[in-house]
Amino acid sequence: MQVKDKVFAVTGAGSGIGKAIVVNLLGRGAIVAGVDLNKDALDDLVKEVGVKSDLLSTHVLSITDKKAVEKLPEEVVKAHQHIDAVINDAGIIQPFVKINDLDYDAIEKVMNVNFYGALYMTKAFLPLLLKRPEGYVVNVSSMGGFLPVPGQSIYGASKAAVKLMTEGLYAELADTNVHVSVVFPGATNTNISKNSGVATPEVSSNKSKQQSYPTLSPEEVAEIIVSGIEDNRPQIFTGKDSKMMNLLYRLNPVYATNLIAKQMKSLLSK
């Protein structure tokens, strides 16, 4: 799908990768409905894009509120006459603890935002996308969606659910006008920990120096994602780490699991 003049709804639009996606889309001539829980963040986004704000509408809501999400397509169509694509980027992580030490409120919050939020948005907009000459659904999963990460096991479970839901949707819509992509971001410099209300464990300088792959900026990730949309790629990997760990896990899942477990061991609180 060429994004110029297409109308996109983007969740998590107020910060991080979502914000960078909005800016990238607007730069390519797309029209965007930015969705976020944080009104101040959306207001800042409008100021940042400047004259391109004429191509941007903002919508403050929680994607975990099914009734609010069900009303959103009508609001977007009212603002932009139609909708061509949905990018479900909004997501949170869990506290860096083992499942045994993770309370149910945290578990439900992660699943509600990461999985049900993407599901609600997909189901709300899909009937309209199927009526367009060309439509698109993009769901952002994670490296944790295909590779187990101790201390983020429930986060990974939510993103694995997003992965399989999206891949199933791709198969279901293969003979329709709607394209489907799942995104697997590698390490990205965002404020997801702060937005999730989660303290980030400190990583020693030695471990930082041992990192094989650079952390990408949200802008770099957004460029890869939007370019992937224009190429209609079913799977979009945004970093060398994501690509390599996907390959390693496919070749030797036990070795890959133990490798990540060893790296995460010092970060777990217990």
Catalytic residues, which ones?
155
User: Residue 35: beta bridge partners?
Assistant: 11, 59
Contact 184, 228 (CB under 8 A): no
Angle at 55 between CA 50 and CA 57, to 5 degrees: 95
Instruction: For CA atoms 47, 51, 57, 62, give the dihedral sign.
Output: negative
What phi and psi values does residue 236 have, to the nearest 5 degrees? -125, 115
DSSP secondary-structure letter at 116?
I
Among residues 184, 181, 187, 185, the alpha carbon closest in space to that of 228 is found at 181
Task: Measure Cα distances from 8 to 5, 24, 89 in Å.
Answer: 10, 12, 12
Angle 51-57-59 from CA coordinates, rounded to 5°: 145
CA distances from 240 to 22, 98, 138, 188, 244 (A): 23, 27, 20, 12, 6
DSSP 162-191: HHHHHHHHHHHTTTSSEEEEEEE--SB---
